[in-house]
């Protein structure tokens, strides 16, 4: 089966015809141009693998300077394209100069057909290998991130959560598209990862895209990839998330945040399972399992002409709704103990327990931020407690007993209070304070200066 796209640039039309006849049997696409002015435009339109470039375009000029100029232009703007130079005036110095400038190889006129074909096929294999290496490097980076992250544990024995987990087990082995709905902080990403882990794709990548963080200008580049030079600051080729997720799972988080004008582009790809990078006309087929998530009411958005109904149908073969924490209060104790174990180890306070009164308060709190809010509250309490048992006061601001730590309090606010508290306990001794906080004395000094303590 023929592979690869070849562009031939030469000012001699009879040579172009001969090369076209010879090489169209070897490559999937062979295009010829006789003017150097067409070169960059042609490369911008089509994702060529190899360029066979004449060293001299103008009659009577045999210095090779034109060819070297265009070679530099190609390697600057389309660095992944392999360039093979061809000339009737070859010598060792010119060949070495072209190779130093980035040419893959050098062919002399008149050429030997077998040698020419072998040279161009070798250049194509090199190009193909480089593309695979680039994709593998990106995949390796994602795999490292996945390996280094702590694998979350599914926590929850309440009837509501058991129903969700039963649904997850039923659908995981299928390739059905899944839409996960629920308020912020209910664990939608965790459910998506569990579906992937229980699926037949678990040996491949789980690729997450936070659509709420993408600007309109980066949407296509992030999802579909782009070619070098396709827009400002596109300094190199980029592999899109759809291609990275090939054979694996693509998780589109915050799907309700996609502007209406971009929803049609996503729908087209989901229907065809073909991706075209920005700046290219070449399609790449992908085999993905799609999982989407949102905290928005998509039915209301459709009624308000803010979301496409056909896109919802495409991604919503199965829907899983995650209940808010206030509807599964029986899971709070298990969640608190789970997070308390994580953070007591992290902050060298192992052996912590929690008092009944504090646990009762936690169970009665409405938790508008759901599990994420509870997790942060437990982490703060573990950091701030001075005893081996978390009590009600560890979840409050100072002597104020009217509510839990304000959601507006930042980690910097918390860190400042912790430093002040530890300094007071140690009579302002910075060495002892630094040791207890697990930081160096210089770091403590820098933080004291930063917070104006």
Mean residue pLDDT across the chain: 86
Measure the CA dihedral 80/132/266/143, to 10°.
-130
Is position 417 within any domain?
Answer: yes
Burial class for 242, CB neighbours closer than 10 Å (0-12, 13-18, 19+): buried
Q: Which of 265, 288, 323 is the last residue of a domain?
A: 323
Domain CATH for 99: 3.40.50.2300
Poorest-pLDDT segment among 278-282, 356-360, 394-398, 429-433:
394-398
pLDDT at 451: 84
pLDDT at 150: 55
Q: Please give the structure tokens belonging to residue 142.
A: 């994602």
Compute how many other C-beta atoms are within 10 angstroms of the C-beta atom of residue 119.
20
Look up the domain containing 163 and give its range. 150-323
pLDDT at 453: 86
Is position 78 within any domain?
Answer: yes
Better-scored residue on pLDDT, 64 or 271: 271
Is position 192 within any domain?
Answer: yes
Domain CATH for 258: 3.40.50.300
Compute how many other C-beta atoms are within 10 angstroms of the C-beta atom of residue 213.
11
Residues 114 and 233 in one domain: no
pLDDT at 91: 62
Residues 72 and 176 in one domain: no
Is position 370 within any domain?
Answer: yes
CA-based Rg of the chain, rounded to a whole angstrom? 30
Mean pLDDT of 335-363: 92
> Where residue 359 falls among pLDDT bands split at 50, 70, 90?
very high
Q: Which of 283, 308, 323 is the last residue of a domain?
A: 323
Is position 137 within any domain?
Answer: no
pLDDT digits (tens, 9 = 90+) for 251-277: 999 999 999 989 999 999 999 999 988
HSE, CB side, 13 Å, CA atoms: give it for residue 385.
28
Mean pLDDT of 73-87: 89
Is position 349 within any domain?
Answer: yes
Q: What share of the chain in percent tops pLDDT 90?
A: 50
- pLDDT beyond 70 at 45: yes
Residues 200 and 263 in one domain: yes
Residues 393 and 289 in one domain: no
pLDDT at 407: 44
Q: How far apart are CA 123 and CA 135, in angstroms?
A: 19
Is position 141 within any domain?
Answer: no
Using the 8-state DSSP alphabet, how is residue 155 labeled? -
- For residues 253 and 210, the answer to whether their CB atoms sit within 8 Å is yes
Is position 142 within any domain?
Answer: no
- Our count of domains for the chain comes to 3
Residues 85 and 183 in one domain: no
- pLDDT beyond 60 at 62: no
Residues 176 and 310 in one domain: yes
Residues 38 and 160 in one domain: no
pLDDT digits (tens, 9 = 90+) for 385-434: 888 999 888 885 333 334 444 444 566 777 787 888 788 878 888 888 88
For 279-301, give the DSSP string: T----EE---EEEEEESS-HHHH
For the chain, first and last CA: distance in Å? 72
Q: How far apart are CA 163 and CA 72, in angstroms?
A: 62
Compute how many other C-beta atoms are within 10 angstroms of the C-beta atom of residue 450.
12
pLDDT digits (tens, 9 = 90+) for 425-450: 788 888 888 877 878 888 888 888 88
Q: Which of 308, 323, 338 is the last residue of a domain?
A: 323
pLDDT at 342: 92
Domain CATH for 389: 1.10.8.60
> Where residue 228 falls among pLDDT bands split at 50, 70, 90?
confident
Give residues with Cβ within 8 angstroms of 278, minimum separation 6: 220, 221, 224, 225, 226, 227, 230, 231, 234
Residues 168 and 306 in one domain: yes
Residues 394 and 276 in one domain: no
- pLDDT beyond 90 at 29: yes
pLDDT at 146: 57
- For residues 199 and 289, the answer to whether their CB atoms sit within 8 Å is yes
Residues 10 and 70 in one domain: yes
Residues 55 and 155 in one domain: no
Burial class for 51, CB neighbours closer than 10 Å (0-12, 13-18, 19+): buried
pLDDT at 96: 77
The H or E element containing residue 343 is: helix 332-346
Residues pairing with 6 in the sheet = 30, 50
Give residues with Cβ within 8 angstroms of 451, minimum separation 6: 412, 415, 416, 419
Q: What share of the chain in percent tops pLDDT 70?
A: 89
> Where residue 212 falls among pLDDT bands split at 50, 70, 90?
confident
Q: How far apart are CA 381 and CA 183, in angstroms?
A: 24
Residue 44 in 3-state DSSP?
A: helix
Residues 337 and 221 in one domain: no
- pLDDT beyond 80 at 312: yes
Burial class for 390, CB neighbours closer than 10 Å (0-12, 13-18, 19+): buried
> Where residue 298 falls among pLDDT bands split at 50, 70, 90?
very high
pLDDT digits (tens, 9 = 90+) for 159-186: 999 999 999 999 999 999 999 999 999 9
């Amino acid at each position: 089966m023929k592979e690869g796209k070849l562009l031939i640039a030469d000012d001699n039309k009879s040579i172009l015809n001969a090369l076209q006849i010879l090489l169209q049997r070897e490559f999937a696409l062979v295009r010829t141009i006789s003017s150097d002015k067409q070169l960059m435009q042609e490369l911008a339109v089509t994702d060529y693998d190899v360029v066979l470039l004449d060293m001299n375009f103008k009659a009577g000029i045999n210095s090779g300077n034109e060819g070297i100029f265009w070679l530099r232009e190609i390697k600057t703007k389309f660095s992944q394209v392999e360039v093979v130079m061809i000339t009737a005036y070859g010598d060792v110095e010119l060949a070495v100069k072209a190779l130093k400038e980035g040419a893959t190889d050098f062919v002399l006129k008149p050429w030997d057909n077998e040698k020419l074909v072998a040279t161009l096929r070798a250049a194509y294999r090199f190009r193909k290998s480089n593309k695979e290496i680039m994709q593998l490097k990106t995949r390796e980076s994602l795999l490292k991130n996945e390996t280094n992250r702590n694998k979350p544990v599914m926590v929850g024995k309440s009837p509501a959560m058991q129903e969700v987990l039963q649904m997850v087990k039923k659908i995981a082995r299928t390739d059905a598209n899944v839409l996960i709905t629920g308020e912020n902080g209910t664990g939608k990403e965790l459910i998506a990862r569990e579906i992937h882990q229980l699926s037949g794709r678990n040996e491949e990548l789980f690729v997450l895209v936070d659509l709420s963080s993408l600007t309109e200008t980066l949407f296509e580049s992030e999802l579909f990839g782009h070619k070098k030079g396709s827009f400002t600051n596109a300094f190199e080729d980029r592999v899109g998330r759809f291609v990275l997720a090939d054979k694996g799972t693509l998780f589109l988080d915050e799907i309700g945040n996609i502007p209406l004008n971009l929803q049609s582009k996503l729908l087209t790809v989901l229907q065809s399972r073909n991706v075209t990078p920005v700046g290219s006309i070449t399609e790449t087929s992908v085999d993905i399992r799609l999982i989407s998530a949102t905290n928005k009411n998509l039915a209301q958005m459709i009624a308000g002409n803010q979301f496409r109904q056909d896109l919802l149908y495409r991604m919503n073969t199965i829907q899983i709704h995650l209940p808010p924490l206030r509807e599964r209060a029986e899971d709070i104790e298990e969640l608190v103990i789970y997070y308390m174990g994580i953070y007591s180890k992290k902050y060298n306070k192992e052996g912590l327990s929690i008092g009944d009164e504090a646990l009762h308060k936690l169970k009665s709190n409405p938790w508008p931020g759901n599990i994420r809010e509870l997790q942060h509250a437990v982490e703060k309490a573990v950091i701030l407690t001075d005893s081996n048992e978390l009590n009600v006061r560890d979840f409050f601001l100072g002597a104020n007993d009217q509510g839990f730590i304000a959601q507006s309090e930042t980690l910097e606010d918390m860190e400042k209070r912790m430093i002040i508290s530890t300094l007071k306990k140690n009579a302002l001794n910075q060495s002892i304070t630094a040791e207890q906080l697990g930081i160096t004395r210089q770091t403590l000094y820098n933080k004291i200066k930063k917070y104006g303590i």
